[in-house]
Structure 1
Amino acid sequence: MKWLRDPDTRKWLLPGMGVKRWFLLLFLGMAFLGLGVSFLAREAYLTLVLPDAFYYITLQFIPQVFRGVLFIGVSVLFVVVGVWKFSAGLLAAMRSTARGNGNGHSESLVNLVYRHRFAGRGPRIVAIGGGTGLSVLLRGLKEYTDNLTAVVTVADDGGSSGRLREDMGVIPPGDVRNCIAAVADAEPLMTRLFQYRFPAESGEGLSGHSFGNLFIVAMSEVTGSMEQAIHETGRVLAVRGQILPSTLEDVRLAARTRDGRTIRGESAITAAETEIATVGLEPARPSAHPDAVNAVRNADLIVVGPGSLYTSVLPNLLVPELGIAFQESDAMRIFISNVATQAGETDRYSVQDHVASVESHLGGAPFDFIVANNNLSERLPKRWKSEPVRGGEARVGGTVVEADVIDERNRYRHDAAKLADTILTIYHERGEAAPRPPVVPAATR
């Protein structure tokens, strides 16, 4: 047996490991259990009239000594195999986690086994978007599957990301950082450190920068590429799944407004707070990240949104190869409508308006289902310059599924757990999929 030749396995037999005594106790317990069962069986055999079949079931045609040896041998075999397989399952879970983490992050044994047995078998989900909306979505979906891919926009040109983009000539790391933090299994302190932003009094060089952005850019200098830097950063923070930029090229976002103006740059588009007609990329045909294209083509489920419609969601699908792969994919495709409008960009937009904008940019009706929030009981504060997104009268491609997916603490955003549960319910109940495993409640993690 290979496991007997494994040095790590043989370590269990070393003096002082504190294991052998408990195995001995286990075998003694099984022996006493068997002895007690035999006493009861003998009493029943002497006092009850049993069917003739029991003559063969109890192997009475074999001498008693040989019967005893046979039953003892079979019971020992069952115990050894049972303990072996049980231990192997635990060790496999812990080893796979150790290979993925490498950061000392502690996790309960039941969650290790759960992830090893269920999450690794979950559906292959691709989430497309950017900004806070995508990170909220990923935070919920990671509890259902480890086969998770986030395709992130790289058109950001403001804040810390914009400064690093101009100074270092790298793709903006901000949205990538948010996604890594959302799906990381690292210690909470590490995640907080990754999201830490230096205050204004830090000086001109550090002021406003996120530590995570600086970490990713520094990693790109060490590894030689931004692509490898994202991968290694994900490994350090024990990311579930993978985070991929939609393209590795230097792209800018350009918007055509309803009044005929052209605004260039994501930050300028957002700051303008004006109604947008269409958006595009400059250059118009950047090469897609090949792994992102492969993930979309091989996905079981593709989720688009939530997030800023014109500056976070659409830029990914405007990368030609990625847009084509999305439309040709056999996966179930779900659009997540925002729960609130965005000042200037999507004022007065309904659910149908959001979907219609995506359809007009892609030239078709690409979605099977559209998730719309139906918890509209409260108005948003006036200072938010926003209102709840409601359904409209116009028909859209795909089935609209209404559900309460709002975060009661911040009604401008989705609730990660509610949204993920709604998505997986649609996938498993309305698609041809295997039954999903139970999700470990957040309170037990």
Structure 2
Amino acid sequence: SVIVSMMDDGGSNRVIRDEFGLLPTSDIRQCIVALSEENPGDLLRKLFTYRFNAGTGIAGMTFGNLFMAALADIYGDQKTAIAKTCEFLDVSGNIIPVTYDKCYLVARYSSGKQVMGEHDIDEPSEGVAKYRIVELEVFPQAKANPDASSALLSADYIVFGPGDLYTSILPNVVVPGISEALKNSRAKKIFVLNLMTKYGQTDRFTTGKFLSELEKYAGEGVIDYCLTNKSKDFPKGILERYEAEKAYLVKDDLVESEKLRIVRSDFISSEVYEKSLSDKIKRSLIRHDPDKLARAIMSIING
């Protein structure tokens, strides 16, 4: 099962929320494509990730988002639209929105300023970016999807990440009811640490700081395993491009204990992400290698 954040309000999701009155669909769509079986074929995968680069009102939109918006209109609710899309693409597994309540992410900074909206938190103004995020919450008040809580309580293993801490991982955790489910779940919990820091969010964070910030919201001592990258074998020129944006390699200062196990390995993908010209959202250039992560996680599961 995958539990998906419903806080995104940037790019095409802004249109989905403002024009259609729906919850954001991009993260749902990406999970559907990732978990779809080979049966639908490569054409359908390409179609669902296709992003229009022209057209009044649809430039920057993906076909998959429009498809799900149409299904929500046909069936009258997004829950059915998601289920029908999963059927259409022959999805293996469960894709579960963390909440069905319409809400936004709110960050409070060390300056006292508050910013509402995941996109503005993800790409803050310079006047905001120089301060630390000290509190994260949702507004208006929301409640966890019961299916999400049930999935956490019945899980054997729960994996956090990879993704931006404040705008990908924690938006799930701060929904009321989720941290309680995490604390009550007997599942072993695995945290995939970030490769790079991010200016305006995790500036100069170490692995220990990433962990303590996650557990601030999820519950102290909740994490059982941390997967952290130890390789510096990045594609040529990548670190310089990151440094130009005040982003740096995450320094590893985690200490293993009886409760916390640390898996250090090379988790870097050799491929540099190239986004389409129609995509206006800032994306990570370098990412975790999914096969390397899968092997590490399976080694934990298999003992």
Equivalent pair of 1:352/1:395 in contact (CA under 8 Å): no
**Once the 2 structures are TM-superposed, how far is the Cα of residue 412 of structure 1 from its aligned partner?**
2.3
> Is there any run of 5+ residues in structure 2 with no aligned partner, and where?
273-284
Structure 1 CA distance for aligned equivalents of residues 240 and 33 of structure 2: 31
Q: Which residue of 1 aligns with 2:271?
A: 409
Q: What's 2:61 paired with?
A: 209
Q: TM-score, normalised by structure 1?
A: 0.60
Give the C-alpha shift of residue 160 in structure 1.
Answer: 0.4
Q: Distance in 2 between matches of 1:198 and 1:310?
A: 28
How far the C-alpha of 1:269 sits from its partner, in A, is: 1.0
Aligned partners of 2:116 and 2:17: how far apart in 1? 16
Q: Work out whether residues 9 and 118 of structure 2, in 8 Å CA contact, stay in contact via their aligned partners in 1.
A: yes
Map 1:326-337 → 2, pairs under 5 A: 326-337=182-193
How far has the Cα of 1:393 moved from its partner?
A: 5.9
Amino acid at match of 1:404: D
Residue matched to 1:253: 105
**Residues 278 and 361 in structure 1, CA contact (< 8 A), matched pair in contact too:** no
SS in structure 2 at match of 1:358: helix
* Alignment check: 8 A CA contact 2:5 2:168 kept: yes
Selected match of 2:174 from 289, 314, 318: 318
For 1:37-436, list aligned pairs within 5 A: 149-185=1-37, 186-199=40-53, 202-272=54-124, 274=129, 275-284=132-141, 286-378=142-234, 380-384=238-242, 385=245, 386-392=247-253, 398-410=260-272, 412-429=286-303
> Partner letter of residue 390 of structure 1?
K
For the residue of structure 1 that corresponds to 2:60, the secondary structure is: coil
Residue 342 of structure 1, CA deviation: 1.9
- What is the CA distance between 1:357 and its match in structure 2? 0.4
CA–CA distance in structure 2, aligned partners of residues 393 and 373 of structure 1: 12
How many equivalent pairs are there? 278
Q: Matches of 1:375 and 1:258 in 2, distance apart?
A: 33
State the 1:381 CA deviation: 3.2
Q: Distance in 2 between matches of 1:327 and 1:412?
A: 32
Give the structure with higher Rg (CA): 1
TM-score, length of structure 2 as denominator length: 0.87
Counterpart-to-counterpart distance in 1, 2:240 and 2:114: 29
- Residue by residue, what CA displacement relative to the aligned partner does 1:150-185 show, whole Å, maximum 9, x if unpaired? 100010111101111111111000110111111111
Report Cα offsets for 1:391-416 as digits up to 9, x if no partner: 12677862221121110223721001
Q: Larger helix proportion, structure 1 or 2?
A: 1
Q: Secondary structure at the match of 1:408?
A: strand
CA distance in 2, matches of 1:278, 1:305: 20
Contact 1:254–1:262 (Cα < 8 Å) also in 2:
yes
Where relative contact order (Cα < 8 A, 6+ residues apart) is larger, the structure is: 2
Percent identity over paired residues: 35
Q: What do the CA deviations read for 1:217-271 (whole angstroms, capped 9, x no partner)?
A: 1111112210111111011001110111100000101111222211111111122
Q: Deviation of residue 283 (structure 1)?
A: 2.1
Contact 1:380 1:387 in 2 (8 A): no
SS in 1 for 2:222: coil
Pairwise CA distance, 1:280: 0.9
CA offsets 1:52-101 (integer angstroms, 9 cap, x no match):
xxxxxxxxxxxxxxxxxxxxxxxxxxxxxxxxxxxxxxxxxxxxxxxxxx
State the alpha-carbon separation in 2 of the partners of residues 317 and 398 from structure 1. Answer: 20
Q: Is 1:340–1:413's contact at 8 Å kept on the other side of the alignment?
A: no
* 2:278 alignment partner in structure 1: none
- Secondary structure of the residue aligned to 1:320 is coil
For 2:302, what is the secondary structure of its paired residue?
helix
User: For residues 214 and 264 of structure 2, what CA distance do their matches in structure 1 show?
Assistant: 19
Q: Name the SS for the 1:409 alignment partner.
A: strand
Q: Which 5+ residue runs of structure 1 have no aligned equivalent?
A: 1-148, 430-445
Q: Following TM superposition, by how much is the alpha carbon of 1:325 offset from its aligned partner in structure 2, in angstroms? A: 0.9
Q: Give, in whole Å, the separation in 1 of the partners of 2:74 and 2:93.
A: 23
Aligned partner letter, 2:260 = G
2: CA distance between counterparts of 1:288 and 1:294? Answer: 10
Instruction: Say what the alpha-carbon RMSD is for the aligned residues.
Output: 1.7
